[in-house]
């Protein structure tokens, strides 16, 4: 069963804090696909990760440069695929070379290359909540593990593309230990988080 963390942040600061907390569970070689519309919070979330792991670096959106490399405790590769449509252009970025060297890759618009980049460690989808507040965001996190079944991955991508296919957890399914630690950190900071599963 595909289990997700469903997180709501109320401010830009909380979205960045969510990134800082997520940084504590990242490991060398992790591939994280970030999905969501323009302005949904992907770069703000990334800035929190970089603040935690590469404190001497300043984050800017890689929309026009395509890729930024931040050096720190763990190197961060921040990629934006929004302007790339050709498979060759995406492959030419050399993401796997950086991952093999121990960097973490955060790929905005990662759903454009889900077949090319291989299996990610985490899928994250962001959206602005439709309640008139420009700072409220919802983020869904899915962890891909060795135990993830093909149907779980298919459900994960389906949910990532359509938020209305989630319900409360009705099974005793266990999910990724790293997401469990992340959930507990969020709760300690008072950020709204719940576990949900694909219907």
At 2, is the pLDDT very low, low, confident or very high (cuts 50, 70, 90)?
A: low
Close Cβ partners of 20 (under 8 Å, ≥ 6 residues apart): 48, 49, 51, 52
Among 59-68, 121-130, 162-171, whose mean pLDDT is lowest?
A: 162-171
- Count the Cβ atoms, other than its own, within 10 Å of residue 165: 15
The domain limits of the chain are 3-189
Nearest-Å Rg of the Cα atoms of the chain is 16
DSSP one-letter string for 39-94: TSSHHHHHHHHHHHH-TT------TTT-EEEE-SSS-EEEEE-TT---HHHHHTT-
CB 26 within 8 A of CB 104: yes
- Check if the beta carbon of residue 36 is closer than 8 Å to that of residue 62: no
In this predicted structure, what is the pLDDT of residue 90?
75
Residues 6+ apart with CB under 8 A from 155: 2, 165, 198
**Quick one: average pLDDT of 95-113?**
85
Q: What is the pTM of this model?
A: 0.85
Residues 122-148, mean pLDDT to the nearest whole number? 76
CATH class name, domain 3-189: alpha beta
pLDDT value, residue 133: 63
Residues 117 and 36 sit within 8 Å (Cβ to Cβ): no
Range with lowest mean pLDDT among 8-12, 30-34, 63-67, 101-105:
63-67
Alpha helix positions (H), the chain: 12-23, 42-53, 87-91, 95-100, 150-161, 177-188
Where residue 165 falls among pLDDT bands split at 50, 70, 90? very low
């Amino acid at each position: 069963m595909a289990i997700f963390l469903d997180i709501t942040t109320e401010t830009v600061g909380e979205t960045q804090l969510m990134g800082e907390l997520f940084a504590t569970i990242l490991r060398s070689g992790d591939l994280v696909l970030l999905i969501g519309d323009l302005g949904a919070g992907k770069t703000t979330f990334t800035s929190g990760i970089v603040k935690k792991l590469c404190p001497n670096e300043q984050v800017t959106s890689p929309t026009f440069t395509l890729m930024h490399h931040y050096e720190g405790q763990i190197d961060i590769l921040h990629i934006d695929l929004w302007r790339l449509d050709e498979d060759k252009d995406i492959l030419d970025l050399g993401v796997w070379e950086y991952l093999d060297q121990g960097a973490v890759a955060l790929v905005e618009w990662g759903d454009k290359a889900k077949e090319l980049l291989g299996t990610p460690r985490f899928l994250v989808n962001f959206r602005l909540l439709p309640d008139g507040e420009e700072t409220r965001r919802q983020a869904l996190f899915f962890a891909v593990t060795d135990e993830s079944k093909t149907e779980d991955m298919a459900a994960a991508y389906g949910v990532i593309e359509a938020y209305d296919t989630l319900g409360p957890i009705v099974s005793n399914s266990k999910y990724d230990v790293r997401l469990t630690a992340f959930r507990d950190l969020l709760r300690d900071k008072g950020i709204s988080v719940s576990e949900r599963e694909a219907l």
